[in-house]
DNA sequence: AAGACCATGAACATCCTATTGATTGAAGAC
DNA sequence: GTCTTCAATCAATAGGATGTTCATGGTCTT
């Protein structure tokens, strides 16, 4: 599961990020609405967690803008106030659910899953968190990669990497974005970890290794 | 026996939770209907205890929705009012039994057992409270683990652990989640109790010990 | 052909997990 | 009330898996 968290308070953001990562999910964090909107255009997410109170443009505006761009990713709004007005306003601009702060962590997780399920259409429980491309299946719930029916062991970083790659099918991802998403670092552009891991993944994908294309001067693309 | 308790009043929830745990059952708690519905899709329960008065969607709606999803888990409804109307309405949306608050704890237990018995009486006997994976059978009603026909003694924690593991077959569970579910604690991430218990379980499972896979950097997975 | 960019293997450091034994705590027997 | 017993927890360690860097050689572009 790929999640975009738009939240300016670093303490909250860090707390949420940590917890969601423990669930095995990949979390991207944006400190304000503009950044969030920019990231959305580069990657597809399963759920967007959106704080209502943001510096610059408000959470509501973010929601409105992304909907205007025909982005239908489910949005879970966070707000400090438990006011019905805000809730209604949030839902009106296109949020899908709402959670008042402070919240219980389990509830956050449950709601994210509920949202995701609701949007992907429940009934087909099996398709949950599964990315498939021909004989290549990554089940993010089980954290298992299957290559032509054979289970392949992946390390934690490899799992996160293939997760964002497959979630961003047919989109080029820059090394910086991958670094930020998987390694959670903003600096240190002198490392080549991404390259190394892409190499390892390609090898583990066997016949499907070629699906990860190098976009020279830009990054990598899956699919 | 795995029980899902959907109840918003924390005092009641805590009271019930404690009591059912004392029976040796594993209790999962959801504070509202949405959360409850979400949890149901991740795990199979033997009985669902559902409060009628809930914030957000009502208990009746919860029941209706889960039945619409072809979930046939027996539901015991709790309500503050002893009104026939409510009872009828509850049964109409698919509840299996009904208990007015305040209730006697023994009665609650008796009804849960009755429900469970009734449901396992006709229909799919195997799927209720019994988890099976080849020669490995855990009967949560009898609290008995059988390995290739030989009964193996388990401690309370070991039972709860294998119970959630088998109920979450093929899903990776983080230590945090296991801790929360079996030990009921949110903090203290510096402990390694989970590791220790996983180790003990593996040993007791004998030839099936390998079914508990370590997902390095993430947690454990059964199946 | 030169420069930039990328792939890969190997070496090393680090982190994670399994396991063991000791300690604590609770329940029941006497 | 004390003792016994066993479950539950803690703490320490070793071993292995993973993460990271670096150096080298390959490939693409202009």
Q: Do A23 and B174 touch (CB under 8 A)?
A: yes
Q: Which residue has the higher pLDDT, B161 or A187?
A: B161
**β-sheet bridge partners, residue B51:** B78
CB-nearest to A114 from B31, B34, B217 is: B34
Q: What is the mean pLDDT of residues B150-178?
A: 88
Residue A97: list chain B partners with CB under 8 A: 34
Q: Do A142 and B180 touch (CB under 8 A)?
A: no
Q: Do A125 and B41 touch (CB under 8 A)?
A: yes
CA atoms within 13 A of residue B203's CA, in its CB half-sphere:
9
Q: CA of A67 vs C1' of D28, distance in Å?
A: 40
Burial state string for B60-80 with b = 16 or more CB within 10 A and e = fewer than 16: bebbbbbeeeebebbbbbbbe
Q: What is the mean pLDDT of residues A158-171?
A: 90
Task: State the pLDDT confidence band at B126, using cuts at 50, 70 and 90.
Answer: very low
Query: What is the CATH class of A2-120?
Result: alpha beta
Strand D contact at CB of residue A7, distance < 7 A: no
- Across the beta sheet with A144-147, the strand order is A130-133, A136-139, A144-147, A150-152
pLDDT in tens, B26-59: 788 888 888 888 888 777 788 899 988 888 888 8
- Please report the pLDDT score of residue B122 as a whole number: 31
- Please report the pLDDT score of residue B170 as a whole number: 87
A-side interface with B, Cβ within 8 Å?
19, 22-24, 97, 104-107, 110-111, 113-114, 117, 122-123, 125, 139, 141-144, 155-156, 159
SS3 B164: helix
User: What is the rounded average pLDDT for all residues in chain B?
Assistant: 80
Q: Do A110 and B35 touch (CB under 8 A)?
A: yes
Task: Yes or no: say if A74 and A2 are a contact pair by the CB < 8 Å rule.
Answer: no
Task: State the pLDDT confidence band at B14, using cuts at 50, 70 and 90.
Answer: confident
Q: Which residue is nearest to nucleotide D21 (CA to C1')?
A: A191
The mean-pLDDT minimum among A217-221, B102-106, B179-183 falls in B102-106
Q: Do A142 and B34 touch (CB under 8 A)?
A: no
Is-same-fold flag (B2-120; B152-222)? no
The mean-pLDDT minimum among A83-87, B53-57, B75-79 falls in A83-87
Other C-beta atoms within 10 Å of A97: how many?
19
- Please report the pLDDT score of residue B22 as a whole number: 63
SS3 B128: coil
Question: What distance in Å separates residue B51's CA from the closest CA in chain A?
Answer: 17
- Please report the pLDDT score of residue B200 as a whole number: 93
Q: Where are chain A's structural domains?
A: 2-120, 152-222
- Please report the pLDDT score of residue B212 as a whole number: 93
Tell me which of B35, B43, B55, B223 to substitute to probe the interface with A (most A C-beta atoms closer than 10 Å): B35
pLDDT in tens, B135-145: 898 887 778 88
Task: Yes or no: say if A193 and A179 are a contact pair by the CB < 8 Å rule.
Answer: yes
Q: CA of A137 vs C1' of D21, distance in Å?
A: 31
**β-sheet bridge partners, residue A130:** A139
List bases, strand D, within 7 Å of protein CB. Answer: 6-12, 17-23, 28-29
Q: Do B171 and A19 touch (CB under 8 A)?
A: no
Q: CA of A191 vs C1' of D23, distance in Å?
A: 14
Q: Is the pLDDT of residue B198 over 80?
A: yes
pLDDT in tens, A176-220: 889 888 887 766 678 899 999 999 999 999 999 999 999 998 899
Q: Do A155 and B39 touch (CB under 8 A)?
A: no
Please give the Cα distance from A223 to A165 (Å, whole number).
9
Percent of the residues in chain B that have a pLDDT greater than 70, as a whole number: 82
Question: What distance in Å separates residue B221's CA from the closest CA in chain A?
Answer: 7
Residue B217: list chain A partners with CB under 8 A: 155-156
Pairing verdict, β B75-79 and B97-100 = parallel
For tokens 């499972």, the residue is B205
- Please report the pLDDT score of residue B124 as a whole number: 34
Task: Yes or no: say if A17 and A29 are a contact pair by the CB < 8 Å rule.
Answer: yes
Looking across all nucleic acid strands, the nucleotide with the smallest C1' to CA distance from residue B193 is D9
Task: Yes or no: say if B221 and B212 are a contact pair by the CB < 8 Å rule.
Answer: yes
Q: CA of A195 vs C1' of D21, distance in Å?
A: 12
Give me A138's structure tokens: 């990554």
Write down the pTM of the prediction.
0.67
Q: Which residue has the higher pLDDT, A215 or B114?
A: A215
CB-nearest to A110 from B39, B175, B217 is: B39
Q: CA of B153 vs C1' of C28, distance in Å?
A: 19
Task: Yes or no: say if A170 and A213 are a contact pair by the CB < 8 Å rule.
Answer: no
Segments in chain A forming alpha helices (H): 10-22, 33-42, 59-68, 84-92, 105-120, 156-167, 175-178, 193-204
Q: Do B171 and A125 touch (CB under 8 A)?
A: no
Q: Name the CATH code of domain B152-222 (choices 3.40.50.2000, 3.40.50.300, 1.10.10.10, 3.60.10.10).
A: 1.10.10.10
CB-to-strand C under 7 Å, chain B 201-220: 202-203, 214-219
- Please report the pLDDT score of residue B65 as a whole number: 85
Q: What is the mean pLDDT of residues B109-136?
A: 65
Please give the Cα distance from B110 to B165 (Å, whole number).
26
Q: CA of B214 vs C1' of C23, distance in Å?
A: 28
């Amino acid at each position: 599961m790929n999640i975009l968290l738009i939240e300016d308070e670093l303490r909250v953001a860090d707390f949420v990020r940590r917890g969601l990562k423990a669930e095995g999910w990949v979390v991207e964090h944006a400190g304000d609405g503009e950044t969030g909107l920019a990231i959305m255009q580069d990657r597809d997410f399963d759920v967007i967690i959106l704080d209502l109170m943001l510096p610059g443009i408000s959470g509501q505006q973010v929601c409105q803008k992304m909907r205007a761009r025909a982005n239908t990713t489910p949005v879970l709004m966070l707000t400090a106030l438990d006011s019905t007005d805000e809730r209604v306003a949030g839902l009106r601009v296109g949020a899908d659910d709402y959670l008042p702060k402070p919240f219980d962590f389990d509830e956050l997780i449950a709601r994210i899953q509920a949202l995701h399920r609701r949007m992907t259409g429940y009934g087909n429980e099996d398709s949950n968190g599964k990315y498939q491309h021909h004989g290549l299946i990554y089940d993010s719930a089980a954290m298992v990669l299957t290559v032509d029916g054979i289970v392949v062991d992946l390390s934690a970083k490899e799992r996160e990497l293939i997760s964002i790659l497959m979630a961003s099918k047919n989109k080029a991802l820059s090394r910086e974005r991958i670094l930020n998403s998987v390694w959670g670092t903003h600096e240190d552009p002198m490392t080549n970890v991404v390259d190394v891991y892409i190499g390892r993944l390609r090898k583990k994908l066997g016949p499907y290794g070629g699906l990860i294309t190098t976009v020279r001067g830009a990054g990598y693309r899956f699919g």
